[in-house]
């Protein structure tokens, strides 16, 4: 079983404010299990124009491949 670590970052531009107002940073690991991939990740989101202004997210996603 091979673990596939990853990191990602996203910036969101909002035309209403003509500014980048949201940032997302994530780190995680994908675990292949037969015909599925289990994705475990931790994400941090900063949003300048909402309340609360930040979120910490622990996520699990499963993808099936046939």
pLDDT at 50: 78
Model pTM?
Answer: 0.78
Q: Give me the torsion for CA of 11, 14, 20, 23, rounded to 10°.
A: -40
CA distances from 26 to 8, 41, 59, 65 (A): 5, 7, 10, 23
Residue-wise pLDDT for 13-66, tens only, equals 999 989 999 999 999 999 999 899 999 999 999 998 878 888 999 999 999 988
DSSP letter assigned to residue 2: -
| Residue recorded with tokens 């596939």 | 4
Is a pLDDT exceeding 80 seen at residue 1? no
Q: Which domain holds residue 57?
A: 4-64
Task: Give CA–CA dist 38/32, Å, rounded.
Answer: 6
């Amino acid at each position: 079983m091979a673990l596939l670590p990853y990191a990602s970052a996203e910036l969101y531009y909002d035309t209403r404010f003509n500014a980048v107002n949201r940032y997302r940073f994530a780190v995680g690991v994908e675990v292949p299990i037969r015909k599925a991939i289990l994705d475990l990740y931790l994400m941090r989101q900063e949003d300048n124009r909402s309340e609360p202004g930040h979120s910490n997210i622990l996520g699990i996603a499963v993808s099936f491949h046939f």
